[in-house]
Each structure stands twice: as structure tokens, then as C-alpha cells.
């Protein structure tokens, strides 16, 4: 999988992704008896493909933390995650696999530089090669403003992100508390990551959650 790491311009004056606290947690759930082998195998596949480069990875008993140590941060995170999900799908024979993802940037407990409302980074859109694995996801975006920080109403940022995803064709409908995304795993992850990074140009602390389902036996998922 080409990760387009070399030809991206990243406009992030000064601070490193690590100083900006750019990273994610994810958990991956193969719905099969040999889930341990599927998970460990998928993580190893992504490592062998070179996709862990520039990332700090720590797996604990609930999920895996992935911090971006090098640019392009969003690109590295999403290429790695798409690879792990596709590998888990492949290793489970196309069975039902769900990934839950938390994307975070600018959390005050993680940040090691002065994040003001100006001078925030403007990363390039994520580009990941198609995985061939279709996904259905539920996606939520949380701009974490302070009550005296300016930067507008949180719903304005959310609505603008949903409008972008609709134009892109991955967002298809609203569900309670979430927006439904469909498409190749790569498109779904890129949609969420780009929206998260775009709000991050205006709001220092932005989190997004994404439940990505592949190979679901639900009738609706077959449609």
C-alpha cells in the first residue's frame, strides 16, 4: 500500500505532531472464536508493511494508542488504521469486524506547546489507497471549545463538517448522535480524519469517534 508520505506538504508552523497531541486510540473486534490470532496478525501485517513508521504504538487490555511522531501525521495514522482493518477483514475470511476509533488533537493533557486559536496547523487531506473492503460507519465530531474562547458555536463546526462529507459522497444520512458514512474503508477513514483536521485549523482541541463495521451480516449492511 502506498502511503503518499513523501509528496505531501504540511503547513504546521513550528510544532511537531507529538507536541500538538495528534493521535488516536482504536479497538478492533473480529466476531469469531479465533479473534486473538486475527487481531495480532492484523497488527503484525501493518507493521510488516512499514505502516508503523513515524508512529508510537502502545496496546493495552482495552485498546491501542497510536501517537503521531512524524509528519504527515493524519496520513500516517489513517494509512495504518486502514491497513489493520483490511488485514483483520482478510484474516477473518471476510467475516464481521468492527473497529472503534477515537481521533484526538490538542487535548491539554497531551499538548507540549502553546496552542492558541491562531497559528493552528493546516494539514493536507489524507490520501489512502482503496482497500477493497466496503464499510458502514457511524461518525461523531466534537470541537471542544471553552465558554470564553470565541471560535463560534460548536454545532456550526459540526454542521460544516457534515456538509463536506455529504459533498464527498461518503456521508449518507443522519442517525441519532451520529452521521452514517459508507464507502471503502479508506474513504470512510479519510472523511473522518479530514473533517477532524479541518476543525483543528480553528479549534485547538478536537475529538472524533467512529464505529466502522465491515462484513456485517445485517440485512441493511448488504444493501
Return residues touching a second copy (CB under 8 A).
Answer: 23-25, 27, 29-33, 35-36, 58, 60-63, 65, 67, 96, 98, 100, 102, 104, 107-110, 136-138, 140, 142-155, 174-178, 180, 205, 207, 209, 211, 213, 216-221
Question: Whose Cβ is closer to a second copy: residue 113's or residue 175's?
Answer: 175
Least distance (Å) between residue 64 CB and a second copy: 10
Least distance (Å) between residue 183 CB and a second copy: 14
> Directed axis angle between helix 73-91 and helix 35-48, to 10°?
140
Question: Whose Cβ is closer to a second copy: residue 122's or residue 140's?
Answer: 140
Least distance (Å) between residue 14 CB and a second copy: 22
Least distance (Å) between residue 142 CB and a second copy: 5
Question: Whose Cβ is closer to a second copy: residue 26's or residue 86's?
Answer: 26
- Give the integer Cα–Cα distance in Å for 135 and 216: 9
Question: Whose Cβ is closer to a second copy: residue 95's or residue 125's?
Answer: 95
Q: Burial of 62 by CB count in 10 Å (0-12 exposed, 13-18 middle, 19+ buried)? A: exposed
- Give the integer Cα–Cα distance in Å for 100 and 117: 29
**DSSP β-ladder status, 178-184 and 171-175:** antiparallel
Bond prior to 2 in cis (omega within 30° of 0) = no
Question: Whose Cβ is closer to a second copy: residue 70's or residue 124's?
Answer: 70
Least distance (Å) between residue 9 CB and a second copy: 27
Order the strands of the 55-59 sheet from edge to edge.
Answer: 55-59, 64-68, 23-30, 97-105, 206-214, 134-143, 178-184, 171-175
Residue 33 DSSP label: T
Amino acid at each position: 500500500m502506498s502511503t503518499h508520505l513523501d509528496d505531501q506538504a504540511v503547513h504546521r508552523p513550528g510544532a511537531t505532531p507529538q507536541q500538538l497531541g495528534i493521535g488516536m486510540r482504536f479497538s478492533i473486534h473480529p466476531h469469531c472464536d479465533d479473534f486473538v490470532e486475527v487481531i495480532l496478525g492484523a497488527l503484525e501485517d501493518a507493521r510488516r508493511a512499514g505502516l508503523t513508521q513515524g508512529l508510537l504504538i502502545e496496546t493495552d487490555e482495552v485498546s491501542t494508542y497510536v501517537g503521531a511522531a512524524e509528519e504527515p501525521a493524519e496520513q500516517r495514522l489513517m494509512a495504518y488504521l486502514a491497513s489493520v482493518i483490511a488485514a483483520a477483514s482478510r484474516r477473518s475470511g471476510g467475516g464481521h469486524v468492527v473497529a472503534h476509533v477515537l481521533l484526538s488533537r490538542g487535548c491539554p493533557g497531551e499538548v507540549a506547546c502553546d496552542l492558541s486559536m491562531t497559528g493552528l496547523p493546516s494539514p493536507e487531506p489524507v490520501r489512502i489507497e482503496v482497500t477493497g473492503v466496503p464499510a458502514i460507519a457511524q461518525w461523531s465530531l466534537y470541537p471542544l471549545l471553552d465558554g470564553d474562547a470565541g471560535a463560534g458555536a460548536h454545532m456550526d463546526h459540526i454542521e460544516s463538517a457534515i456538509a463536506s462529507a455529504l459533498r464527498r459522497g461518503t456521508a449518507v444520512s443522519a442517525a441519532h448522535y451520529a452521521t452514517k458514512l459508507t464507502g471503502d474503508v479508506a474513504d470512510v477513514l479519510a472523511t473522518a480524519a479530514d473533517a477532524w483536521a479541518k476543525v483543528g485549523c480553528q479549534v485547538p482541541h478536537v475529538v472524533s469517534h467512529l464505529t466502522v463495521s465491515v462484513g456485517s451480516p445485517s440485512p441493511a449492511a448488504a444493501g
